[in-house]
Amino acid sequence: MSISSAMQTGVSGLNANSVAVGEISENIANANTTGYKRSFAQMVTMTPTGGLNAPSGVNAVVSSDLQNGGAVIPTNSPTDFAVNGNGFFVVSSNANTSVQSDYVMTRAGSFQPDENGNLVNSAGYFLSGYPYTDVKLATIDGNSFNGLKTVNVTDATLSAKATTSIGVQGNLPSQETGNATPGAPFTSSSQYYTPLGAVKRLEYSWQPTSTPNQWDITVSDGDGVPYGQVTVDFAPGGANAGAPISYSGVTNLATAPGAFSMDTTTGVMSLTMNDGGTTQPIEIGLGALNSFDGITQFAGDFTPQKFTADGSSSGALTRIEVDDTGTMYGIFDNGQRQPLYKIPLAHVENPNGMQEIDGDAYRLTRDSGAYTIHKANEGPVGTISSGALEGSNVDIAQELSDLIRTQRAYSTNAKIVTTMDEMLDETTRLKR
Question: For the chain, what is the radius of gyration of the CA atoms?
Answer: 37
Q: Which residues on neighbouring strands pair with residue 60, listed in sequence order?
A: 43
- Is the distance from CB of 326 to CB of 339 less than 8 angstroms? no
Other CB atoms within 10 A of residue 142 CB: 14
Other CB atoms within 10 A of residue 109 CB: 25
Sign of CA dihedral 349, 386, 151, 110: negative
By three-state DSSP, how is residue 6 classified?
Answer: helix
- The pLDDT tens digits along the chain (432 residues) read 577 777 888 888 888 888 888 888 888 988 887 778 888 888 888 776 655 566 678 888 777 777 777 888 899 899 999 999 999 999 999 999 989 889 999 999 999 999 999 999 988 999 999 999 888 898 889 999 999 999 999 888 888 889 999 999 999 999 999 999 999 999 999 999 999 889 999 999 999 999 999 999 999 999 999 999 999 999 999 999 999 999 999 999 999 999 999 999 999 999 999 987 789 999 999 999 999 999 999 999 898 899 999 988 888 888 999 999 999 999 998 888 899 999 999 999 998 888 889 888 999 999 899 999 999 999 999 999 999 998 888 888 888 998 999 899 888 888 888 888 788 877 888 766
d(CA 395, CA 205): 72
Identify the CA nearest to 410 among candidates 71, 102, 140, 14.
Answer: 14
- Is the distance from CB of 214 to CB of 182 less than 8 angstroms? no
- Is the distance from CB of 159 to CB of 277 less than 8 angstroms? no
- What is the CA angle 33-37-38, rounded to 5? 100
Identify the CA nearest to 385 among candidates 78, 132, 119.
Answer: 78
CA distances from 137 to 31, 87, 142, 325, 328 (A): 39, 21, 14, 14, 12
Query: What are the φ and ψ backbone dihedral angles of 29, each rounded to 5 degrees?
Result: -65, -30
- Is the distance from CB of 26 to CB of 62 less than 8 angstroms? no
d(CA 363, CA 351): 10
Second-level CATH architecture of 165-309: Sandwich (2.60)
Q: What is the pTM of this model?
A: 0.69
Other CB atoms within 10 A of residue 369 CB: 13
pLDDT digits 0-9 by tens, 160-208: 889 999 999 999 999 999 999 999 999 999 999 999 889 999 999 999 9
Strands 165-173 and 295-298: parallel
- Is the distance from CB of 21 to CB of 406 less than 8 angstroms? yes
> What percent of the chain stands above pLDDT 70?
97
Identify the CA nearest to 221 among candidates 173, 198, 254.
Answer: 254
- Is the distance from CB of 375 to CB of 346 less than 8 angstroms? no
Dihedral class, residue 50 (left if φ above 0, else alpha if ψ from -120 to 50, else beta): left
Q: Please report the DSSP string for 25-43 in residue order.
A: HHHHHTTTSTT---EEEEE
d(CA 398, CA 416): 27
- Is the distance from CB of 244 to CB of 295 less than 8 angstroms? yes
Report DSSP state, residue 95. T
Q: Which residues on neighbouring strands pair with residue 226, listed in sequence order?
A: 220
